[in-house]
């Protein structure tokens, strides 16, 4: 069984919709069971969202309006499939059978996985058994109050992988480029197609702006699922990019087993000296640097304690040659605790919870660095076990 998701450009014209229908038919002819997810035609959601904003409608009415793009696409896709004698049926969120249930967080709703899985199986499997292709609009959900919700812009990818998860199916994401590239191929010349990418890498690419695949969709990839991104120009057999691995959806809290040291350089106008970071990186070439934090009069590197002396020596060389740098110092006994949560970008108060948990255990935070779904907290080496336990307890219980 496969789930095929077509993006906005892929369903942007009748010609393209017909081509997508052909792609499906060639799978059906091979005896494959196919579930189809469609996006709104390119530009439709933008237009609907703009109009909803101009008309100052409530957030739940805005979701209802924004869902219309996908609801048109699913009807058009069924029409194209039926004209090829491929029997299909769309499922609309207005119907009782609509399977994707979410919370009531309009505009960026979260899927209620257990209930959705049950409903997806109950609704979709019988259609497939009758030889009917189910066609669903991506991006759309329904709250327990029965209102239409949306999963967030670009959210059709979420629906595609989610259905694959619920049905134990492989998932094909059909888009306007041949797969994942080394940079956005529509703006960067010579961008190279990547045949295979680790899921963690694609997650970080998405979180940092690459539209090619919605990062939240990756939460639903299972170990056994084949997940591919490929072009809307050929058939599903075109190579594209395969995404390997799967993400741990739970919050992970772990402590690096090696003791760390802070190595700090002080100097005047630290932040405005051009080229300084290059000089530091060259000097620390052979040293693993876990974190860099800069303030007006100092810059601190966190390194393994067994590399502390080498780091101090290397940075001292830079200081001797630089008129604005004054001195270097170091301090060992630091532990690195890493906290990863795939839902952190949507959650409020993650840093507050970390702070509270450590404060209750009287553990002092020496340094903290954050990116969208990862927080690195540096604490005293002797406090690491207590810190690990209280963070684990607080973050897992309250997530």
Residues at the interface with Mg ion (CB under 5 A): 154
Of 151 and 299, the one with the shorter C-beta distance to ligand ASP is 151
Q: Which stretch binds ligand ADP (CB under 6 A): 26-34, 115-123, 174-182, 365-373?
A: 174-182
Residues within window 54-113 making contact with ligand ADP, judged by CB under 6 A: none
Of 9 and 310, the one with the shorter C-beta distance to Mg ion is 9
What x/- string results for residues 178 through 207 when contact with ligand ADP is judged by CB under 6 A? --xx-xxxx---------------------
Of 147 and 153, the one with the shorter C-beta distance to Mg ion is 153
Shortest Cβ 150–ligand ADP spacing (Å): 15
Of 99 and 138, the one with the shorter C-beta distance to ligand ASP is 138
Binding of ligand ASP by 240 (CB under 6 A): no
Of 243 and 350, the one with the shorter C-beta distance to ligand ASP is 243
Q: Cβ of 72: how many Cβ atoms within 10 Å?
A: 16
Binding of ligand ADP by 7 (CB under 6 A): yes
12 φ/ψ angles, rounded to the nearest 5 degrees: -75, -20
Greatest Cα pair distance, the chain, in angstroms, is: 79
Chosen from Mg ion, ligand ASP, ligand ADP, none, partner binding at 69 (C-beta under 5 to 8 Å by type): ligand ASP
Chosen from Mg ion, ligand ADP, ligand ASP, none, partner binding at 139 (C-beta under 5 to 8 Å by type): ligand ASP
Of 44 and 64, the one with the shorter C-beta distance to ligand ADP is 44
Binding of ligand ADP by 177 (CB under 6 A): yes
Shortest Cβ 13–ligand ADP spacing (Å): 13
Binding of ligand ADP by 212 (CB under 6 A): yes
Evaluate whether 136 touches 77 at the Cβ level (below 8 Å).
no
Of 138 and 341, the one with the shorter C-beta distance to ligand ADP is 138
Of 231 and 291, the one with the shorter C-beta distance to ligand ADP is 231
Residues within window 332-351 making contact with ligand ASP, judged by CB under 6 A: none
Binding of ligand ADP by 9 (CB under 6 A): yes
How many whole angstroms separate alpha carbon 364 and alpha carbon 359?
7
Applying CB under 6 A, which of residues 75, 121, 147, 153 lies at the interface with ligand ASP? 153
- Residues paired with 339 in a beta bridge: 253, 375
Q: 3-class secondary structure for the chain?
A: CEEEEECCHHHCCHHHHHHHHHHHHHHHHCCCCEEEEECCCCCHHHHHHHHHHHCCCCHHHHHHHHCHHHHHHHHHHHHHHHHCCCCEEEECCCCCCCCCEECCCCCCCCECHHHHHHHHHHHHHHHHHCCCEEEEECCEEEECCCCEEECCCCCHHHHHHHHHHHHCCEEEEEECCCCCECCCCCCCCCCCECCEEEHHHHHHHHHCCCCCCCHHHHHHCCCCCCEEEEECCCCCCCCCEEEECCCCCCCEEEECCCCEEEEEEEECCHHHCCCHHHHHHHHCCCCCEEEEEECCCEEEEEEEHHHHHHHHHHHHHHHHCCCCEEEEEEEEEEEEEEEECCCHHHCCCHHHHHHHHHHHCCCCEEEEEEECCEEEEEEEHHHHHHHHHHHHHHHHHCC
Chosen from Mg ion, ligand ASP, ligand ADP, none, partner binding at 328 (C-beta under 5 to 8 Å by type): none
Binding of ligand ADP by 298 (CB under 6 A): no
Q: Give ∠ CA 16-19-20 in degrees, rounded to 5.
A: 90
Binding of ligand ASP by 73 (CB under 6 A): no
Binding of ligand ASP by 139 (CB under 6 A): yes
Binding of ligand ASP by 8 (CB under 6 A): yes
Binding of ligand ADP by 234 (CB under 6 A): no
Shortest Cβ 20–Mg ion spacing (Å): 15
How many whole angstroms separate alpha carbon 387 and alpha carbon 272?
36
Binding of ligand ADP by 262 (CB under 6 A): no
Shortest Cβ 390–ligand ADP spacing (Å): 39
Shortest Cβ 159–ligand ASP spacing (Å): 8
Binding of ligand ASP by 137 (CB under 6 A): no
Binding of ligand ASP by 45 (CB under 6 A): yes
Sheet with strand 148-150: strands edge to edge: 101-102, 140-143, 148-150
Residues in touch with ligand ASP (CB under 6 A)? 8, 39-40, 45, 69, 138-139, 153-157
């Amino acid at each position: 069984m496969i789930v095929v998701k077509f993006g906005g450009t892929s369903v942007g014209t009748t010609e393209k919709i017909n081509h997508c229908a052909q792609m499906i038919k060639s799978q059906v002819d091979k005896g494959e069971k196919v579930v189809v997810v469609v996006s709104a035609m390119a530009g439709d959601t933008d237009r609907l969202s703009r109009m909803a904003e101009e008309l100052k409608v409530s957030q739940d009415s805005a979701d209802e309006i924004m869902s219309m793009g996908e609801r048109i696409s699913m009807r058009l896709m069924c029409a194209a499939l039926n004209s090829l004698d491929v029997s299909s049926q769309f499922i609309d969120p207005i119907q009782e059978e609509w399977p994707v249930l979410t919370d009531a967080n309009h505009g960026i709703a979260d899927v209620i996985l257990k209930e959705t899985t049950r409903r997806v199986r109950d609704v979709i499997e019988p259609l497939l058994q009758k030889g009917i292709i189910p066609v669903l609009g991506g991006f759309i959900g329904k709250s327990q109050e029965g209102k239409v919700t949306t999963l967030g812009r670009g959210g059709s990818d979420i629906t595609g992988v989610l259905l694959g998860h619920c049905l134990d199916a492989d998932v094909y994401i059909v888009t306007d480029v041949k797969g994942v590239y080394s940079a956005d191929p529509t703006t960067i010349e010579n961008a190279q197609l990547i045949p295979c990418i680790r899921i963690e890498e694609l997650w970080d690419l998405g979180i940092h702006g690459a539209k090619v695949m919605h990062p939240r969709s990756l939460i639903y990839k299972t170990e056994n699922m084949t997940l591919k991104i490929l072009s809307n120009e050929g058939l599903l057999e075109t190579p594209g990019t395969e995404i390997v691995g799967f993400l741990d959806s739970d919050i992970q809290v772990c402590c690096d087993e090696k003791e760390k040291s802070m190595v700090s350089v002080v100097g005047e106008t630290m932040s405005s000296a051009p080229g300084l970071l290059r000089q530091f990186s060259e000097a620390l070439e052979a040293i693993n640097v876990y974190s860099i934090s800069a303030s007006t009069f100092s810059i601190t590197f966190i390194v393994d304690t067994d590399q502390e002396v080498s780091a101090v020596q290397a940075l001292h060389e830079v200081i001797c040659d630089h008129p604005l740098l004054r001195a270097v110092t170091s301090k060992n006994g630091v532990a690195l605790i890493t906290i990863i949560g795939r839902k952190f970008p949507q959650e409020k108060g993650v840093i507050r919870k970390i702070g509270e948990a450590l404060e209750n255990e009287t553990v002092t935070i020496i340094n903290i660095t954050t990116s969208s779904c990862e927080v690195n907290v540096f604490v005293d080496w002797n406090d690491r076990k207590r810190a690990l336990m209280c963070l684990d307890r607080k973050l897992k219980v309250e997530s």
